[in-house]
Amino acid sequence: MPDNAAQSESRELPASIAIPPVRGEMVRLRPATVEDLDRMDVIDAYPGASGITGKDRVAERAAVHAWVRRSVAWSKGEAPAESGVGDPEARRTIAWSIITESDHDGDGEIDAAESDNVIGMIFLIDIDGWARSARIQVILGQDYRGRGYSRDIMPRVMTYGFAPEPAGLGMHRIWVAVPEQNTRSVSVYQSLGFMPSGRSRDALWNAAQNRYQDLIVMDTLVDEFDPIRSLDAFGMHVIEDNPGVKEAMAAREHSIAIQQGALAESGTAGGDMAAPAPVAADVDSSSAGKVSGDDAQHDEPEAGKDGAVSAGAASDDEGSNWPYAQGKSKTSKGAWWRTLGRGRKRNNGK
């Protein structure tokens, strides 16, 4: 078989997928069902779409319905056309419903009893097996925004997306699209490892302000994403039995070993060398559940009121040994994600 044919075959997405549950500290994820679409209406999941995602309410709701049906179809092993919303590029979607079984607002009742505990959904959209790329998006009910839920789940879904098959999807790139007016989201996405990669001018219509706005594209790559730092940036912690976590941790330890070996060789050749930075802390259950007060507004997480990332771990790069995730200084401006993508060596063989 020719090399290019073998490569094409290896990049085909599986005909069916078992969508794994994912556990967070505040909420849990289960595969979304068609029945959950009515629950999204109950929690009023689509207000303000024009100013936040660039779609109007009707279009946003229609997109969510298509994503969930595509996800269900893939889990059943149906071809894209069999879901009723075919895709000539054979891209796939995974949809999870966000479930809470707690009384986070202290009113004495489970927060989302009226919607069978569904408070929103999170998606990996346009999963492209050939390019190993996917887009992530979160949609929360209007009353469940700003409570830290999306900050709990986004890094965990990204870890699954980047983890090698069969533990994860084996993605190379995960990206987001942010309307320009949603400026505070940029800082939070950066703290997850995303970096701005492009801008589409006047790509969106903002009906509330009666004007066009640009769409900012941000992405992160598999060798840039730090599954520990991205959680720590929001005061969240690793849950080791989640899908893809063991593989991500193994890759992280391998990267640390390579880096420390290189430092040791440099130290032998060049005399005294500074000791390698300490490894970022892993699981710390003593502070589990610590979250900033601000969170996702509809499908885009927000930073604090001043636009800054709200956790100390994202304010400097001390303690990180992840590739592309550390600068040489340890100042308050040296956030670990600020060096992402700079001077990276392209590996065109993957």
Does residue 244 lie within any of the structural domains? no
Per the domain annotation, does 36 fall within a domain? yes
Query: What pLDDT shows up at residue 291?
Result: 37
Contacting residues for 331 by C-beta, under 8 A, at least 6 apart: 316
* Contact present, 335 and 191 (Cβ < 8 Å): yes
Tokens of 99: 């479930």
Q: Is residue 5 situated within a structural domain?
A: no
The three-state secondary structure class of 343 is: coil
pLDDT tens-digit series, residues 238-283 = 999 999 999 988 877 776 777 777 778 776 655 444 444 433 334 3
Q: Rounded to whole angstroms, how far apart are CA atoms 329 and 321?
A: 14
**Phi, psi at 147, each rounded to 5°:** -115, 5
* Residue range 16-54, pLDDT digits in tens: 999 999 999 999 999 999 999 999 999 999 987 665 666
User: At residue 307, does pLDDT exceed 90?
Assistant: no
pTM, 2 dp: 0.74
**Confidence bin at 193 (pLDDT 50/70/90):** confident
Q: Can you read off the two tokens belonging to residue 280?
A: 């970022």
Give the model's pLDDT for residue 200.
92
Q: Is residue 242 part of a domain?
A: no
Q: Which region, left, alpha or beta, applies to residue 147 given φ > 0 means left and ψ of -120 to 50 means alpha?
A: alpha
**Domain CATH code at residue 29:** 3.40.630.30
User: What gap in Å lies between CA 126 and CA 147, rounded to an integer?
Assistant: 28
Within a domain: 328: no
Q: Does residue 301 have a pLDDT over 90?
A: no
Bridge partners of residue 217, in order along the sequence: 177, 198
The answer on pLDDT for 170 being more than 60 is yes
The confidence score (pLDDT) of residue 326 equals 39
Confidence at residue 23, expressed as pLDDT on a 0 to 100 scale: 96
The per-residue pLDDT for 191 is 80
Q: Is residue 15 assigned to a domain?
A: yes
**Does pLDDT of 286 surpass 60?**
no
- Asked if pLDDT for residue 203 goes beyond 50, the answer is yes
Average pLDDT of the chain is 75
| Residue 346: inside a domain | no
Cβ atoms of 247 and 255 within 8 Å: the answer is no
H/E stretch holding 67: helix 57-75
The yes-or-no verdict on residue 293 having pLDDT over 80 is no
Cβ–Cβ < 8 Å for 122, 149: no
State the residue for tokens 């209007």.
142
Instruction: Give the count of domains, the chain.
Output: 1
143 pLDDT higher than 50? yes
318 in a domain, yes or no? no
- Give the domain extent around 33: 11-236+287-309
